[in-house]
Structures are given as C-alpha cells and as structure tokens.
C-alpha cells in the first residue's frame, strides 16, 4: 500500500486563506479519497498496459480504503491490491515450484507469437492453456531417455492425444505433437525445467501514485471550494 497523508496537503489550506475549521476535515478527507481513487484509475491502466492478465479479477483487486475521521493529521487514504502476487509484481520476488516438476512457463508458441520470440506478451491460446491439457499417465516406454521420448511421441500421434510430457537433454516440459501420425513433430507449450524463477519488479502502483501527487493541489482546492459553497448555503 502507498499512503497519501493529510500532513502533505495541510500546507495548501494555509495558502488558500480563510476557511471554517469545522469544514476543513471534510475537505481534507474528500481530497485524500479522491486522490486515492485517481491513483487507482492510473494503477488499473498500468495493469492493463503492462501485464498479461487472465481475467478481470486482478483489476478488481485494486481497491481504495477511504480517509476517515476528523483529525486532519491522522487522515489517510490507501490504495493497493488485496492479492499477494501483485506485491511481487510491484517489488519483485522469487517463485518456487510447488509440485514434483518445475514451474510451468508458457512458451511463445503456445500463445501464438511463434517460436523464437524473446518475450511472451499474450496468454496461451485455446487448447494450449495449461488447465485444459490432460496428459496420460507416465509408463515405462523404453530403455533410456531418448527411446522413451520417441515411443511417447509415436503413441501420442497414434492415439490423437496432442500433448505429451517429455524430458529432453536440457529441457523438460509439456509438448504439443503436430504433423500427423507418419511424421510427428513436437512444439513445447509449457517449459517445466526451472525449479525457481526470479520475478523482476514491474511497478504498477508507485508510478500511479507519483502521477497523482502533482494533481493533489487542484483536487484539494476543489474540495475546499465545495465546502465553502456549502457554508455559504447555510449562512
């Protein structure tokens, strides 16, 4: 979470001059909350533009905790995500395997961006999605790694099963069998080689907050004017 504290905008009230002290906490609270929602808007734009999201859940996880109370020195509005993985995206971290195999990393072939692309920018397409792939139970298909792989590929081609788990010399993962029964070929769709993966920081929230801060003067001014108009109505 990143905070916008009441102390940071308190000096603006002095510059604006005369203001009813009873209305000041309401203006300050409104400004902080408005700023937090503006930062949320920018943060969601960053997520849309920078990240590969599977659904709308990630965007919806970015929420605002509105400013409360009447003590402007303690009023704070917060914006951030309820999901732990968004903290990892913001600051970076390390992902470790959970099962018997390595961490599944979707390939650019699976996303339709072609083999050899340096960076994947889309999700896996259709049947290439990991959750849709069903593998047959591993069997002793031969002696030695190479022979086992050859037999596994032929069996997959003959049975019409498009996917097979293979352990190559330096890589292992889930491969798609293409090319027909007579001349089957394989394309890796999910790489299971790595046991841990370092996730670089990809800030989505801090840039949003930094973009909002220069706007806080105008936001606070609007909140003050709104309160002044309310006071005039009750005179």
pLDDT band at 125 (very low <50, low <70, confident <90, very high): confident
Pairs from 47-52 (Cβ < 8 Å, separation ≥ 24): 47/204, 50/202, 50/204, 51/89, 51/202, 51/204, 52/120, 52/121, 52/122, 52/123
Q: How many CB atoms lie within 10 A of CB 186?
A: 19
The predicted pLDDT at position 145 comes to 84
Question: In the chain, which residue ranges form alpha helices assigned H by DSSP?
Answer: 6-16, 24-50, 57-60, 84-91, 145-159, 206-212, 216-233
> In whole angstroms, what is the distance from residue 219 CA to residue 37 CA?
11
User: What's the whole-number mean pLDDT along residues 67-82?
Assistant: 93
> In whole angstroms, what is the distance from residue 148 CA to residue 230 CA?
80
> In whole angstroms, what is the distance from residue 133 CA to residue 175 CA?
10
The pTM of this model reads 0.70
> In whole angstroms, what is the distance from residue 135 CA to residue 208 CA?
43
> In whole angstroms, what is the distance from residue 151 CA to residue 157 CA?
10
> In whole angstroms, what is the distance from residue 129 CA to residue 124 CA?
5
Cβ proximity of 124 and 106 under 8 Å:
yes
pLDDT band at 91 (very low <50, low <70, confident <90, very high): very high
pLDDT tens readout for residues 135-193: 866 555 556 888 888 888 888 888 877 899 999 988 999 999 998 788 889 999 999 99
Two structure tokens written together for 185: 């070929």
Give the torsion sign (CA, 178, 181, 182, 186).
positive
**In the beta sheet, which residues pair with residue 124?**
none
């Amino acid at each position: 979470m990143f905070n916008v504290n009441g102390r940071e905008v308190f000096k603006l009230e002095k510059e604006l001059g005369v203001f009813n002290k009873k209305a000041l906490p309401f203006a300050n609270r409104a400004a902080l909350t408005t700023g937090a929602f503006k930062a949320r808007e920018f943060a969601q734009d960053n997520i849309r533009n920078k990240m590969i999201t599977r659904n709308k859940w990630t965007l919806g996880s970015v929420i605002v905790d509105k400013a409360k109370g009447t003590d402007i020195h303690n009023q704070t509005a917060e914006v951030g995500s309820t999901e732990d993985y968004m903290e990892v995206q913001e600051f970076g971290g390390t992902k470790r395997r959970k099962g018997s195999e390595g961490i599944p990393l979707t390939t650019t072939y699976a996303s339709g961006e072609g083999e050899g692309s340096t960076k994947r920018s889309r999700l896996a397409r259709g049947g290439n999605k990991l959750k849709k792939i069903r593998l047959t139970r591993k069997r002793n298909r031969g002696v030695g790694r190479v022979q086992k792989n050859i037999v596994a590929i032929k069996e997959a081609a003959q049975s019409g099963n498009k996917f097979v788990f293979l352990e190559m010399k330096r890589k292992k993962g889930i491969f798609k069998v293409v090319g027909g029964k007579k001349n089957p070929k394989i394309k890796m769709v999910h790489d299971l080689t790595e046991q841990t993966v370092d996730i670089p920081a990809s800030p989505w929230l801090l840039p949003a907050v930094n973009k909002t801060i220069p706007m806080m003067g105008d936001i606070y001014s609007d909140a003050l004017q709104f309160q002044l108009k309310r006071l005039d109505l009750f005179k």
